[in-house]
């Protein structure tokens, strides 16, 4: 099952990286990019290298490292840090379509999964339908860097909802991920003290077809895991649909509780059951 929660941890905070292992996140993103100040990049690389060297490869969350962007002078040293380390994948900020994924892949010391943050530059918006899903851990987006890049003052309305440009970008990322056949990962909810708002935001993401979400704070992990797991009622309902079609092998459309169910309902039910964790 692809990760539900992806927790960011600044790469220059070794004590936070160690703590993050036990917080229940499905994946950690050890950050070498925006959460690390320019003067702390070298120390962050050393801390991440040390952390990966001590990894328990049997238990614990998946480990991803966010490197600096391809057009920075920092990425070569970031990638060099990873050589020999035990990690699962790399998060690529400011990604711009399949060419940028190929460029990163050519630099990596092996065949690792890549999670592009696919909406952080104006050009990136026009590549959201361009991704090839091979080797991608998913596709995700961000609502902070793009407004800064175009001189917008914010990506949010006073009530916290996205402004129109960012609603478009979110939807394009969602469909771009599904067009590539990879998980769509919802972006962070920065107000980490507002857990009720987070729950509503994550529930909306799952409703719309995202299968996981990035987190910035430990308190967000349990909420995200919960919201991106199918509920007992959803699982029971999905089982009824699958069983009903199994009992009527020739049927295209059937009725359940007075409502029509046909091929897309069966597909949705199978998708839900595919996300039920094993025993």
CB contact set of 104 (below 8 Å; sequence gap of 6+): 67, 70, 90, 92, 114
Alpha helices for 70-194 (secondary structure H):
75-82, 98-107, 122-125, 145-150, 164-180
Q: How far is the CB of 178 from ligand COA (least distance, A)?
A: 24
Q: Are strands 254-256 and 259-261 parallel, antiparallel or unpaired?
A: antiparallel
Choose among ligand COA, Mg ion, none what residue 145 binds, the Cβ cut-off being 5 to 8 Å by kind: Mg ion
Cβ 88 to ligand COA, closest distance in Å? Answer: 18
Q: Which one of ligand COA, Mg ion, none interacts with residue 205, CB within 5 to 8 A by kind?
A: none
Does residue 36 contact residue 46 with C-beta atoms inside 8 Å? no
Instruction: CB nearer to ligand COA: give 82 or 91.
Output: 91
State the Cα–Cα distance between residues 232 and 121, nearest whole angstrom. 40
- Residue of 14, 16, 24, 34 that binds Mg ion (CB under 5 A): 34
Contacts to ligand COA by CB under 6 A = 7-10, 16, 19-20, 31, 34-35, 188, 216-218
Instruction: Give me the least distance between CB of 253 and Mg ion, in Å please.
Output: 47
85 contact partners, CB below 8 Å, separation of at least 6? 48, 49, 52, 53, 55
- Taking CB under 5 A as the binding criterion, the range among 34-42, 152-160, 190-198, 265-273 that sits at the site for Mg ion is 34-42
Closest residue to Mg ion, judged by C-beta, is 34
Q: Which of Mg ion, ligand COA, none lies near 49, with the C-beta cut-off 5 to 8 A by kind?
A: none
User: Residue 94 carries which DSSP code?
Assistant: T
CB 203 within 8 A of CB 195: no
Residue 20 interacts with, from ligand COA, Mg ion, none (CB under 5-8 Å by kind): ligand COA
Contacting residue, 12, 26, 96, 145, with Mg ion by CB under 5 A: 145
């Amino acid at each position: 099952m692809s990760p539900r929660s992806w927790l960011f941890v600044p790469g220059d905070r070794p004590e936070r990286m160690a703590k993050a292992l036990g917080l229940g996140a499905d994946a950690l993103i050890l950050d070498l990019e925006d959460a690390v100040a320019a003067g702390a990049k070298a120390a962050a690389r050393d801390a991440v290298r040390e952390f990966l060297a001590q990894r328990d490869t049997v238990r614990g969350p998946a480990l991803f490292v966010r490197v600096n962007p391809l057009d920075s002078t920092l990425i070569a040293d970031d990638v060099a840090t990873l050589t020999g380390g035990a990690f699962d994948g790399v998060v690529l900020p400011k990604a711009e379509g399949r060419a940028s994924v190929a460029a990163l892949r050519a630099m990596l010391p092996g065949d690792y999964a890549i999670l592009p943050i696919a909406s952080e530059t104006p050009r990136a918006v026009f590549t959201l339908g361009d991704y090839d899903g091979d080797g991608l851990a998913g596709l995700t987006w961000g609502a902070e860097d793009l407004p800064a890049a175009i001189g917008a003052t914010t990506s949010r309305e006073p009530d916290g909802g996205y402004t129109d440009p960012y609603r478009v970008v979110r939807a394009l990322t969602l469909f771009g991920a599904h067009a590539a056949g990879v998980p769509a990962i919802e972006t962070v909810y920065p107000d980490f003290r507002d857990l009720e708002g987070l729950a509503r935001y994550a529930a909306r993401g799952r409703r719309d077809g995202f299968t996981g979400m990035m987190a910035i704070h430990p308190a967000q992990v349990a909420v995200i895991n919960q919201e991106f797991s199918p509920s007992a009622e959803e699982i029971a309902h999905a089982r009824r649909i699958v069983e009903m079609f199994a009992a009527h092998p020739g049927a295209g459309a059937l009725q359940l509780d007075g409502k029509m169910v046909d091929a897309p309902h069966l597909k949705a039910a199978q998708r839900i059951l595919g996300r039920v964790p094993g025993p």
